[in-house]
Structure 1
């Protein structure tokens, strides 16, 4: 948990032990202004650099991430508690994003010619716009940064980053990696600032776009502030993803993937599987296998190879999750396993399964950002889809069925989310768009779509 020693400093805490890792000072307003000016100057040079030259540097960043993988992975695990093996996987994904963006940007952002209605020639160009300010969360300390920064660097913009304070060390190491890889000075800047300074930065005349990954509450606040300043935003917010297990599902596969989908990254993932909506004929069988698998997960030190579930990132987050479980039980939910705060050091929470989950309970209505699963019985496919869409969120979801054609049809026509996984669980794929609808935000990243979020789509009309 982050703790303040005074209003100008804060500490980062190792969630495995509860001990202090480092102390940091917030920047002064004068320093922030200097960084912004440096970022603007760097952008004015970078926008004229060719895609080939940009791409060679971005690929070098991907390689340098691999060169410093051990150090970065260990630091991420120390700062937020994810399994060390998953920290390594995260860095591999980051390298994949670098390679994809470096290769595809020239195709995605190439000029387009169109014939005008009067017979003249039209040209569409995609021009960088300047400084993009990213406000990022702690749950994927490297990926969240790479996801928006690399895309926008390839588009020709410069970057300001406000990372979550409890992963400040990871942010600074990423900045060092970018520098070592040869990214020109001023293009990627880590700001150690508080919320008030962040709000002021959104309004800065040189900041041209704002992207946030965080909660729906944070998204509304940032969206309002950016909107008042007429700044373009991309908001990747929370969710309560539903995974449908239909009557014809491969039960063994469904249980395996649903467990992974709930506890990956210690359950602290916006696109994690959270609500499990199971057809009535197989509900009891799924419940038995799912609860057994969740009960058998090994909770412990995230750096040990046999650990399957590490600590939550902060004490306040664990307290909130436990409160959501207690309130759900008070309103009729039943605990099938877990649900008890363990003794000892660290911010651990056991894999927990709730059933009899109904509207009005936090387990049904809210995002449970940790290893707590909600089981819901559905009468049939139509009822399962109704329950899945009965949410203010719409980031991702899943369907398990041996009839893939039917599952794809459900996903395409009825699932009110930005992403759907069929007979699997997934997190992010560089070649596919990432984003949601409703209270899960708006805008897209990955798949080339993110490269067009913060560019000027410019029309040039040429007369005879």
Structure 2
């Protein structure tokens, strides 16, 4: 297992895959840790999570540098990722007990009835490379504080980040093995899911990976939360604030070099403002600086791996061959590393890859529609249903359209984002189950009814 610097293609580090004996020891240790951790008072768990936030904030540059080295994310974006991890820890340090307090329910006179929320056990978290800290802490902060223990299977190209995260929990004072990780290949994951000690599974990744993991966890009757791919529409109506929409749209498409499930990928633009918006979006993308992600002036770094760059370019090329018009970009940069420029496609046939598949890079697929109803149809014409963004000066109109969009998260006059205070989820091939807020922390607990009568 290797991690490479995507900006240079140089090998950073090589890691040994854990053998069966090592995996067995770590699962046994996780189970043993759960027995005492689940009995630890909520107040203590919250205090420890607050300590994690302190460790993150005290070492933000160190952790951000590791993210940039392994993923190629511009350093300021990596810093923002670490700070967001501290935020989610602070949120659950303040609210976990509130979200999981016993819920008293009146049933019959004289009876005491309530619902209590009890942890399940070790939870396997299969996490991706694109947000190597945030995706892990989005899982760990609520579910470990709920009394579960975490077993992380991270992507093989970000194992430096995985080890750093393990050390953070140790520095914060957590008992041994409340959070642990295993270094295994994808073909060994199903065996870990089937292990009796693993009581639940969460995955952030591709739809293909989600289906495979869900099939295994479902056959074992183990609950799961799956945040999968997305091809989010960015709807620009005829009354949209075009300057802001273009500026935010460029950010929404290119943040993390476009390697985000909730990035704006399909721009659905009313014909009345199509040319104006396209000109503005083109100007915004042309103004972005592509380069060394450690340099402060860099807006877009490299793709994270060579195979990701190749897949992205193949889909752009196939879309052009199918009839799409290449307005901007469209060729990998001739330099060391895995750099792909901001790219715009228009006049895209409905069966072209840019319309039907997730383009995981800085490629904007721009569609023209002549009505609000057509915008909704095009937006929903996707196997995915993760997020959607609507732009209009009439917020009532935007809210009405939001009700008709098939997505787990809809934002009006804002890019799609996750926030610890509100639930985050998908529909259709974008997965199921909630993360974050009160809803997310209750995914991996036993919701037990207690009924007492004299």
Could you say which TM-score interval applies, normalised by the shorter chain? over 0.9
Within 5 A, what are the aligned runs for 1:59-458? Answer: 59-117=50-108, 120-411=111-402, 413-458=403-448
Given that 2:387 and 2:416 are in contact with CA atoms closer than 8 Å, whether structure 1 keeps it comes out as no
Deviation at 1:358? 2.5
CA distance in 2, matches of 1:246, 1:326: 29
CA shift for structure 1 position 119: 5.7
Shift of 1:299: 0.8
Distance 2:100 2:248 in 1: 37
Q: Deviations over 1:20-46 (max 9, x none)?
A: 100100111111111111111111111
Give the 3 Å change call, closer, same or farther, for CA 377–205 of structure 1 in structure 2: same
Name the structure 2 match of 1:3: none
Q: Structure 1: which 4+ aligned runs deviate by more than 4 Å? A: none
Q: Distance in 1 between matches of 2:349 and 2:334?
A: 30
Alignment correspondent of 1:5 = none
Check conservation: 1:43, 1:131, Cα contact below 8 A.
yes
Could you tell me which runs of 5 or more consecutive residues in structure 1 were left unpaired when the two chains were aligned.
1-9
Cα deviation digits, residues 400-445 of structure 1 (max 9, x gap):
000011101211x201101011112142111011111000000010
Aligned CA RMSD, in angstroms, stands at 0.9
Deviation of residue 338 (structure 1)? 0.3
Question: Over residues 253-275 of structure 1, what are the superposed CA-to-partner deviations in whole Å (9 max), with x where a residue is unaligned?
Answer: 11001000000111000000000
Task: Report the Cα distance in structure 2 between the residues aligned to 1:13 and 1:410, rounded to whole angstroms.
Answer: 43
Q: Aligned-pair distance for 1:374?
A: 0.4
TM-score (norm 2): 0.99
Q: What secondary structure, in the 3-state scheme, does the structure 2 residue paired with 1:376 have?
A: strand
Please name the residue that 1:4 is paired with: none
Deviation at residue 357 of structure 1 after TM alignment:
1.5
The secondary structure found in structure 1 opposite 2:234 is: strand
- Using the TM superposition, give the Cα deviation of residue 448 of structure 1 relative to its aligned residue in structure 2, in angstroms: 1.8
Structure 2 CA distance for aligned equivalents of residues 432 and 384 of structure 1:
26
Number of residue pairs aligned between Structure 1 and Structure 2: 454
Deviation at 1:295, TM superposition (A): 2.0
Report the Cα offset of residue 118 of structure 1: 7.0
2: CA distance, partners of 1:447 / 1:399:
23
Distance 2:284 2:450 in 1: 59
- Give the Cα–Cα distance (whole angstroms) in 1 for the partners of residues 371 and 82 of structure 2: 41
Partner secondary structure for residue 274 of structure 1: strand
| TM-score normalised per structure 1 | 0.97
CA deviation string 1:76-133 (max 9, x = no partner): 1010100100000001100000011111111111101112257633121000010000
Shift of 1:289: 1.2
Residue among 10, 26, 43 paired with 2:34 = 43
The 3-state SS of whatever aligns with 2:390 is: strand
SS in 1 for 2:211: helix
Q: Which runs of 5+ in 2 are unaligned?
A: none
1:279-321 CA-partner distances (Å, limit 9, x unpaired): 1100011111111221222110011111111000000000000
